[in-house]
Structure 1
Amino acid sequence: MGDSSVRGSRLSPMSVVGWIGLALLLCGAFFAALGALNQTIYGASGFVERYLEAIANDDIATASTTPGVALDAAELEALGLPANVSTAMLRSGVIESGPEDVSIVSDIAKDDGTHTVTASYRLETAIIETAFDVRPITPLYGVLNRWEFAVSPLAVIDVTAAHNPIFTVGSLSLDARAAKPVDELLAFTQVTPYLAMAPAVYEFRYDSTLLTAAPVAAQADPSARVAVTVDAQPTTVFVERVQVKVDEYLAGCTEQHVLLPAQCPFGIEIDDRVVSEPQWSIVTSPVVTLTPGETAFDMPPTEGIAHISVEVQSLFDGELSTVEEDRPFTLALSATINPDGNIAIQLK
């Protein structure tokens, strides 16, 4: 009775073969699926494509943490960049336009396990092809391929903030003096390198009451270095405010009832005896124009006309007469904007 139950519970040879076949089939399917994943989603091409799509979606957190993107101290030094180079542009809301219509042109495997993946994409109206070298790193869960860029695709943008240290890129306002040593803070023009996601197009500009810089675009290609100048120029309001200060200064000069007003650009010498208080007036005030100089916005020597009216007595015959005379003069100055937003003028 017991012997017959034992015999009944044993698997027949055909059953064992069937189970082994099923197991092999499942293993084969698993490895086939694993291989397909490693060729597609977890392949070198998929790695590059996801990076480009992250930039296109303005998902800079994902793009910047992609393996091989961050630069270490040695790589920064090799690029001639300071260890504290600004990463302020590595955030969302900064890129004007990223890669669109991304497609993989080729994926070439090399004997050392690295791949050269060539991607095609559109940046605004330009169609661009870029080759990325990627290499394998420790697999995910020991079986799924992982990759990193052999050379970081980050770009370096050297921003020249001309005549004003503040500029805007995308929705971000930056000060080019940040992290600069004290002896460079007062420079009228600042040149500062910034790390930037690439490929991408950035738009730089500046607008304020006193200064404006026309928008300028910079295309950052992977692993490239590009220069851009944000050229701040005086606004009409800036010029008008300087004009007011000039007119007030000259009005103060006319209040000095002397032939040679102190610290003023006009005056007259008279050999006869002066018998009345000299009366000065401004016929034509110099018209202010401002252009960037080495250290400030400069007004070149500009002509104005003052008028003198004074009673004199001849030393020769005692005759009394009135001197009425226009006196041309020139005025030059430099203007700067103080940290509090007020304008400082220095006469030349």
Structure 2
Amino acid sequence: MSVAGWAGLAVLVVGAFFAALGALNQTVYGASSFIERYLSAIAADDIATASTTPGVALDATELEALGLPADVSTAMLRTGVVDSGPEDVRIMSDIAHDDGTHTVTASYRLDAAIVQSSFDVRPIEPLYGVLNRWEFAVSPLAVVDVTAAHNPLFTVGALTLDARATKSGDELAAFTQVTPYLAIAPAVYEFSYSSGLLEAVPVTLQADAAARAAVTVDAQPTAAFVERVQVNVDEFLAECATQTVLQPAECPFGIEIDDRVVGPPQWSIVTEPQVTLTPGESSFDMPPTEGVAHISVEVQSLFDGDRFTLEEDRPFTLALSATIKPDDSISIQLK
């Protein structure tokens, strides 16, 4: 082959190489493919890959701009937390800008909803100096403000978290905790809580990319919680009834008699107050609730000296507050 022939062949090879390189940079290494891979990682619950995608992590300056503390919780950035990720992803457009950035718009299904989002990406140092690489110009992470009402613990996906984990001092004692969490987005999360004493109805949250969302996990007393408090109330009243005095000490019932008492008073509980619990400012509270005690006592009239047995029902009210201790025991305070 002549020199001209070899030169022509070399031109063809070089041209084919650059054509293939251009095709790769438009497809596999293109901005659209970068977004598709990120969304696919979320759908596959590969949160390690999604969260380490260039441009996802937030630095201290970005956290400050979002009004977030430097130690904002990243506990939700793990496998087993996302309820559903983006499925049926379709790239709707990929618009290149003069500064080299791209705006990629994708359509996808999140649970039962069809969602469309736009992502801004920018080029970073090429792979091997020739293959395009990208990063998010704006992190797609969502901020989820979780209100853990009446209980610091909540469950998201398969993970149970404590909303007090990054707090200290007086904040630890708050009955309701509000805590921000970084979360992979776009994705759907389910928040709930269930224990022997407390239960929160599951709440579904759609976290959109680069957005801030709020969810409340509203823990309410279970029937078992109410029953345990009821047992304590019944035992307390039964103990009060053993006191053979007109005014049992530190008890909600008693009686004053003008005549002479000539025998030990005998108390019994006719009707126990039925416990109901609702969240208050710092505890689960039972409002003033009526019960009935009965007294039987031998008395002598100061007027004519007659002796008789006084039998009388004595209505009373009882109110209390209940809190759950760390060992799951219940602390009850009468009001």
Structure 1 length normalisation: TM-score? 0.95
1 CA distance for matches of 2:30 and 2:309? 97
- Structure 2 counterpart of 1:329, which letter? F
Match of 1:29 among 16, 22, 25: 16
How far did residue 194 of structure 1 move? 0.4
How far did residue 260 of structure 1 move? 0.3
Q: Which residue is equivalent to 2:209?
A: 222
Q: Which residue is equivalent to 2:90?
A: 103
Q: Which residue is equivalent to 2:307?
A: 320
Q: CA RMSD in A?
A: 0.6
SS of the residue corresponding to residue 185 of structure 1 reads helix
How far did residue 111 of structure 1 move? 0.6
Q: Which residue is equivalent to 1:271?
A: 258
SS of the residue corresponding to residue 2 of structure 2 reads helix
How far did residue 139 of structure 1 move? 0.6
- Structure 1 counterpart of 2:117, which letter? T
What is the aligned residue count? 335
SS of the residue corresponding to residue 145 of structure 1 reads strand
The equivalences for 1:68-87 within 5 A come to 68-87=55-74
Q: Which residue is equivalent to 1:201?
A: 188
Would you identify which runs of 4 or more consecutive aligned residues in structure 1 move more than 2 Å? none
How far did residue 129 of structure 1 move? 0.8
Q: Which residue is equivalent to 1:181?
A: 168
How far did residue 315 of structure 1 move? 1.2
Deviations 1:85-127 (A, max 9, x none): 0000001110000000001000000111100000000111111
Q: Which residue is equivalent to 2:298?
A: 311
Q: Which residue is equivalent to 1:8?
A: none
Match of 2:197 among 202, 207, 210: 210
SS of the residue corresponding to residue 231 of structure 2 reads helix
Q: Which residue is equivalent to 1:344?
A: 331
Structure 2 length normalisation: TM-score? 0.99
How far did residue 248 of structure 1 move? 0.3
Q: Which runs of 5+ in 2 are unaligned?
A: none
Deviations 1:144-202 (A, max 9, x none): 00111110000000000001101110010100000102211111000000000000000
Matched, 1:90 2:85: no
Q: Which residue is equivalent to 2:278?
A: 291
Deviations 1:309-348 (A, max 9, x none): 0000111221101110000000000000011110110000
Q: Which residue is equivalent to 2:99?
A: 112
1 CA distance for matches of 2:158 and 2:211? 23
- Structure 1 counterpart of 2:196, which letter? T
- Structure 2 counterpart of 1:204, which letter? F
2 CA distance for matches of 1:25 and 1:251? 100
1 CA distance for matches of 2:331 and 2:263? 36
- Structure 2 counterpart of 1:311, which letter? E
SS of the residue corresponding to residue 173 of structure 2 reads coil
Match of 2:220 among 233, 247, 262: 233
- Structure 2 counterpart of 1:47, which letter? F
- Structure 1 counterpart of 2:12, which letter? L
Q: Which runs of 5+ in 1 are unaligned?
A: 1-13
Q: Which residue is equivalent to 2:232?
A: 245
2 CA distance for matches of 1:147 and 1:72? 18
- Structure 1 counterpart of 2:333, which letter? Q
Deviations 1:275-309 (A, max 9, x none): 00000000000000000000000000000000000
The equivalences for 1:117-128 within 5 A come to 117-128=104-115
1 CA distance for matches of 2:326 and 2:102? 53
SS of the residue corresponding to residue 38 of structure 1 reads helix
Deviations 1:247-297 (A, max 9, x none): 000001001100000100000000111000000000000000000000000
2 CA distance for matches of 1:128 and 1:238? 42
Match of 1:44 among 15, 22, 31: 31
SS of the residue corresponding to residue 146 of structure 1 reads strand
Identity of aligned residues (%): 79
- Structure 1 counterpart of 2:223, which letter? T
Matched, 1:159 2:146: yes
2 CA distance for matches of 1:115 and 1:300? 61
2 CA distance for matches of 1:230 and 1:126? 23
How far did residue 24 of structure 1 move? 1.2
